[in-house]
Amino acid sequence: MADEPTKLDISDEMIAERRGGSGKMPEDMPTWMANSIINIDKFSKWVGNVVCWILMPLIFAMTYEVLARKLFLAPTIWAYDISRFLYGALFMLGAAYALSKGVHIRADFLYRNFKTKNQGKIDFWLYLLFYFPGLLVFFYMTLGFVGESIQRGEKGMDTTWMPYMWPIKSCLLIGIVFLLIQGISELFKSYWAATKGEWPGDEK
């Protein structure tokens, strides 16, 4: 009989916990930086608490569709569009909160073994060189995307319900703004880790 594991590898969970740390900011951190991190993280948490309620109408729509289709042979024409719209809104509007908690997918099998300063340097430059430029390009493209959808009165063509598309496309635009805001907090955290060797808010 094979030996049972005696130690649980929780490296990924520890990284996520560190990124979502709710501890106090370092005493030697500039006040403006500490306040920026705290306020942005609080804002993202508030957004996450609000956005999570999208699950309720999403569950209702899917449950209603299944019951109507299976029990009464009366499938709806709106459940498919509503479910994908709500799921898309949940995904995009909650992305910044997920970033603040460190639960976005990343290659932690190497990163977890790096020293804190090296982790901070990697994160800092990735945010600076790729994260912000990429999101700014997406924001510019999505701005025209949403504006054109509103101007044309664009409707979905996948079902006979044909809902307007601008509400869900607007969620994409708003989600990018939230990610840019949270990115500022993550950039400050990464800078501090790279220079001081500790993550702000990391509870010892």
Place of tokens 């020293």: 115
Residue 86 lies in a domain: yes
Residue 94 lies in a domain: yes
The Cα 83–Cα 88 span in angstroms is: 8
For the chain, percent of residues with pLDDT exceeding 90: 70
Find the DSSP H helices in 52-115. 55-71, 79-93, 95-100, 108-111
pLDDT, tens digit (0-9, with 9 covering 90-100), for 35-87: 999 999 999 999 999 999 999 999 999 999 999 999 988 889 999 899 999 99
Is residue 169 over pLDDT 70? yes
The tokens of 15 are what? 């990284």
What's the number of domains the chain is made of?
Answer: 1
Cα–Cα distances (Å) from 108 to 13, 91, 123, 127, in that order, read 10, 22, 12, 16
The Cα 91–Cα 106 span in angstroms is: 17
pLDDT at 16: 54
Is residue 163 over pLDDT 70? yes
**Model confidence at 203, in pLDDT bands (50, 70, 90)?**
low
Residues 6+ apart with CB under 8 A from 11: 108, 112
Is residue 1 over pLDDT 50? no
pLDDT at 24: 82
The Cα 65–Cα 59 span in angstroms is: 10
The Cα 130–Cα 147 span in angstroms is: 26
Residue 24 lies in a domain: no
Residue 1 lies in a domain: no
pLDDT, tens digit (0-9, with 9 covering 90-100), for 88-117: 999 999 999 999 988 877 667 788 888 999
Residue 87 lies in a domain: yes
Collapse the DSSP code of 193 into the 3-class scheme (helix H, G, I; strand E, B; otherwise coil) and give the result.
helix
Domain span at residue 80 reads: 30-104+116-196
The Cα 119–Cα 93 span in angstroms is: 27
pLDDT at 37: 95
pLDDT at 6: 47
- Of 9-18, 28-37, 65-74, where does mean pLDDT reach its minimum? 9-18
Collapse the DSSP code of 132 into the 3-class scheme (helix H, G, I; strand E, B; otherwise coil) and give the result.
helix
Distance of CA 181 to the CA centre of its chain: 11
Residue 165 lies in a domain: yes
Residue 10 lies in a domain: no
Contact 92, 180 (CB under 8 A): no
pLDDT at 105: 72
Rounded to two decimals, what is the model's pTM?
Answer: 0.86
Residue 146 lies in a domain: yes
pLDDT, tens digit (0-9, with 9 covering 90-100), for 129-148: 999 999 999 999 999 999 99
Is residue 28 over pLDDT 50? yes
Q: What is the DSSP letter of 165?
A: S
Q: What is the mean pLDDT of residues 162-191?
A: 96
Contact 77, 161 (CB under 8 A): yes
pLDDT at 8: 47
- Closest among 180, 172, 150 to 85, alpha carbons compared: 172
pLDDT at 2: 47
